[in-house]
Each structure stands twice: as C-alpha cells, then as structure tokens.
Amino acid sequence: MDTESRLKHLQEKLQAIGQSHLLSFYDELDDKRRQRLLEQIEALDFRHIPEWVQHYVKDYTAVALPTSFEPAPSYPARPRDEQQREKYAQATRLGESLVRQGKVAGFVVAGGQGTRLGFDGPKGNFPISPIKNKTLFQIFAESLLAASKKYNTTIPWYIMTSPLNHQATLEILESAGYYGLNKKDVFLFQQGTMPNFDFEGKILLADKDTIAASPDGHGGSLKALYKSGAIADMRRRGVEYLSYWQVDNSLVRIVDPLFIGLHVLDRSEMSSKALLKADPLEKVGNFCLVDGKVTVIEYSDLPEEQALRRKADGSLVFELGSIGLHMIDAAFIERLNRGGDFALPLHRAIKKIPHIDAAGNPVNPTEPNGIKLETFVFDALPLAEQSIILETIRSEEFAPVKNATGPDSPEVTRRMMIERAAHWLEQAGVAVPRKADGTPDCVLEIAPSFALCADDIKEKADRVPAIQPGQVLYLE
Ligand code: UTP
C-alpha cells in the first residue's frame, strides 16, 4: 500500500474509534517522522481501544471483590513435621537434579519505568552492593554464573525490557561483557506497550510523531515471552521452568532447589513465594483462594476489616504477601498463548503524563492528567491448573529498591544485604561483631561466587578471616 492509501485507511480507522486527533500534526512532519507516526498508529489495538476507553476511562468501576474468598494454603519456610521434612528433602533433590539437567532458566522483568527511584537509566544498572557497588544486573549475572558452576550446567538468562529502555539495557550488558556470562545464554526481548489516555478517553501524543505509551505491566511478560521467541529458545535448549523475579530485588535467590522441586512435585504450572506480612496493611498483594484458585487480591482492594482479622494464635488470617517471585512452566505460557487472544485483566493507574496539547506545545503536568493501563503477572495464577505457595523469610530473599529515600530505598537495601551476609556467616560459625542495637558492626559483602546461600559458607568458613569491629570485608 502506498503512503497515501495507508494514510487514508488509517484516517478512517481512527475516526471510527474517535481518535482522529492522532494525525493532527501529520502535514507538518517530514517523511521520516510521518512513517514513524503511521507505524505506531498501525500497531494500535483498534479492536480493543473503544472498550478500554469505555471501561477504564469513561465508566470506570473498580473490580468487585469476589463474594467469597479465603486465605490460600502455603508451604512454611521451614518444614513443620517429619513428613514435611521428607517432602522438602525430596523436593530439594529433585530441584537440584532439574537444574543440573539444564531445565531451569532465570527470567527477570526489567521493563518498568522506575519512576519512584528516579534513577537515570534502566533500574538494573543501579549500583547497590555495599562495598563493590555492583549493580543489580551484575549481582544477578554473577549469581547465574555461580549457580551454573555449582550445578555444572548452563542457566540461561531471559531479560524482559520495554521499548523505553531496551537499547540502554543492551548497551549496558554489552559494555559490561555480560558480566562474564556467555552472550549467547542471555536473551533480551521487549514487552508490549499500551497507549496513554486523557480523562476524556483520547490517546495522548508525546510528540507530533509519537504516541504517549507505557509498558504494558509485568503481566505483559507472559505474552512477550511467547511472541519474542524466548519460549521457543527455551524449548531448543530443553529448558522447562522459569525462575521469575523483579529487577529491583537485590536479595533474590534465583536458583532455589526447594522451590523448584516443590513446584514440579506438586505439578504446579505457576508457583509463588510469599512473605508473612510485616503489618496487616503492608502494601503487598494478598494470597487468597477464590473458587479454589490461588488469586492475589491487591492491598488496596482488601477491605481493612479483612486485612486486620487475626487467628486464635494472634497471627493474621490474610498473612501471605506477594513479592514477585514465581516459578513458571514454559508449557503453561504456551498453553495461555496458543489460542492467540490471551489477555490478563487490565488495571488502571492515574498518572502525570507529559504530552503535547492541541496546539503542539509540550505540557509537563504537575497534577495527574491521564490514565495508564497495565497487567499484572500474578493475575495469571488463577489460570493455572495447579498453583503452590512457599513462604520465605524477608531478610533472606526480599529487599526491593523502589524509592529514593525511606522504606525500600537503596540505604535500607544495603543494610539488608549486610545483615544477610552477617547472618550467613554466623550460621557457619563465624563470629560477626555487632553493635549494642544488634546491627553488624562491620560492612560485609559476599560475592555470589563465594556463596549463593548460607549452606555454601559452611564448607568454607575456615577461609573467612576473623572479623574486627568496624571492618570492611568483601568475600569472593
Ligand atoms: P514496579 O511495579 O515497581 O514498577 O515494577 P516500576 O515501573 O519498575 O517502578 P515505578 O512504579 O515506576 O516506580 C515491578 C517489577 O516489574 C517490572 C519492573 O521492571 C520491576 O522489575 N515491570 C513493571 C516490567 O517489567 N514492565 C512493566 O510494564 C512494569
């Protein structure tokens, strides 16, 4: 189709969905910019946009809470009785064997915009380790390298970016030489985007040739893994299970044989790790059972009286929080995508969205002015035939870098990294000097090459020098 007919065709399609303004500046653009704009318009989901405008902009009503829901069952972090101890041992052996056979890959979602942290560039490039200032990406890469060595295998790494940070992420990995990983074992792919709307349901323009759009949420990963060929790549390699984590979690244990083993033993299609909530209103999703299916109910949707309910022993009824750690079967992702029109529910967020106005002038809003739509990966849990939950311990596995200051800030994360290192060393019998308030009186950093978990240290405790108060000690 020549450009004229293409333009005419798109004008008609846009008119039919009330979005003709997207071509308002077309005549002012040079040829290259015209092509750019037409390509973006062609990529719009014309079939669904009217429905999104209706449901999420004009007539929005929050999703109703299910009429009946209960807390989801889970495996405790430590086995409760002998039978469970045996199952955990069996699962751990199975998990280790699957890793050794090359059936497990790492998968990080790194397509987010990281607006709260306000860091310039992909969040994975944020320097976080307490002594060496390693970036999140470097810590993950070194962990994969160390686990590959430990299990005498290759653990491929799938990384989801978004069109907003793909090139930057690629450049970071290239210039770091993939932190020692084999480039062919790192698979980068991009997630999809969703157009941003103003409060009237009009799609915003970021520039005269650019539609304002944002990544389609971490839920977009389940589509993007399939569309990008990542799943096909896994199949070629014989990988069956993905260990999923989020780019801001500096304490993630990517390869956890127990979690992998329980997931596979119980024939779960998608499993989750959960935390016991630190307080009833903690801002994490709540693991519930709805119609027998594991479902995450967001903190903002769980009525306060439910969130505050306690059991006879004083613990919370809804005590399990979701922290973005999952095991996912490649076959589950294939099953979801096979029909072609698989979609997770959309969630809307009211945001400040920079754009140009009808006269083409840039607007940098100081108040929220529009709506972004995204999907969440945990909304796929109820679609799984089987789904299990394993509780984990916060100080061992969860320290997200979300905010520049305060809770979930780099400062808190670094402290947690030092605390975990101290705890691992103490478990191996190494004395760690502590201050009167109980915090370590030293700065510690353990490289993944030295230990991936507390047990790894036990074998090499004799290589750790005596730690003096105030010492700065890096172990690799
Ligand atoms: P967050 O919910 O923290 O969002 O993402 P964010 O965009 O990174 O940060 P804010 O809210 O703007 O401050 C949790 C995880 O999901 C990934 C992020 O990269 C992070 O690992 N994510 C989020 C995606 O990969 N794509 C998305 O569209 C959204």
Minimal-distance CA residue to ligand 1 atom 17:
112
Cα-only R_g, the chain: 24
pLDDT at 339 over 90: no
> How much is the pLDDT for 371?
98
Q: How far apart (Å, rounded) are the C-alpha atoms in residues 43 and 39?
A: 6
Cα 412 from chain centroid? 20
Q: Check pocket membership of 113 for ligand 1, CB cut-off 6 A.
A: yes
Residue 76's nearest CA partner among 308, 315, 415, 417 is: 315
- How remote is the CA of residue 113 from the centroid of ligand 1, in Å? 6
Q: Give the model's confidence band at 76: pLDDT under 50 very low, under 70 low, under 90 confident, else very high.
A: very high
Q: How far apart (Å, rounded) are the C-alpha atoms in residues 290 and 313?
A: 24
Q: Check pocket membership of 122 for ligand 1, CB cut-off 6 A.
A: no
- How remote is the CA of residue 109 from the centroid of ligand 1, in Å? 8
Q: Check pocket membership of 74 for ligand 1, CB cut-off 6 A.
A: no
- How remote is the CA of residue 216 from the centroid of ligand 1, in Å? 10
Q: Do 295 and 322 contact (CB within 8 A), yes or no?
A: no
- How remote is the CA of residue 110 from the centroid of ligand 1, in Å? 7
Minimal-distance CA residue to ligand 1 atom 14:
246
> How much is the pLDDT for 203?
98
> How much is the pLDDT for 2?
87
Substitution site in 218, 298, 346 for ligand 1 pocket (most atoms within 8 Å of beta carbon): 218
Substitution site in 140, 247, 249, 405 for ligand 1 pocket (most atoms within 8 Å of beta carbon): 247
Minimal-distance CA residue to ligand 1 atom 18:
112
Q: Check pocket membership of 223 for ligand 1, CB cut-off 6 A.
A: no
> How much is the pLDDT for 446?
98
Q: Check pocket membership of 432 for ligand 1, CB cut-off 6 A.
A: no
The answer to which of 208-217, 333-342, 379-388 has the lowest mean pLDDT is 333-342
Per-residue pLDDT tens digits for 92-125: 999 999 999 999 999 999 999 998 999 999 999 9
The residues facing 244 across adjacent strands are 107, 326
Substitution site in 113, 254, 413 for ligand 1 pocket (most atoms within 8 Å of beta carbon): 113
Atom of ligand 1 lying closest to residue 160 CA: 25
Q: Check pocket membership of 416 for ligand 1, CB cut-off 6 A.
A: no
Q: Give the model's confidence band at 130: pLDDT under 50 very low, under 70 low, under 90 confident, else very high.
A: very high
Q: Check pocket membership of 239 for ligand 1, CB cut-off 6 A.
A: no
Substitution site in 125, 165, 246 for ligand 1 pocket (most atoms within 8 Å of beta carbon): 246
Q: Check pocket membership of 325 for ligand 1, CB cut-off 6 A.
A: no
User: What mean pLDDT is predicted for residues 318-343?
Assistant: 95
User: What mean pLDDT is predicted for residues 426-445?
Assistant: 97
Q: Check pocket membership of 217 for ligand 1, CB cut-off 6 A.
A: yes
> How much is the pLDDT for 341?
81
- Listed in sequence order, the residues at least 6 apart from 139 whose beta carbon sits closer than 8 Å to its beta carbon are 128, 129, 250, 448
Q: Do 43 and 36 contact (CB within 8 A), yes or no?
A: no
- How remote is the CA of residue 251 from the centroid of ligand 1, in Å? 17
Is the torsion defined by CA of 308, 392, 409, 186 positive or negative? negative
Q: How far apart (Å, rounded) are the C-alpha atoms in residues 198 and 209?
A: 18
Tell me which fold the domain 63-407 belongs to: Spore Coat Polysaccharide Biosynthesis Protein SpsA; Chain A (3.90.550)
> How much is the pLDDT for 459?
87
> How much is the pLDDT for 64?
85
> CATH 3.90.550.10: which residues of the chain?
63-407
pLDDT at 63 over 90: no
Average pLDDT score over the chain: 97
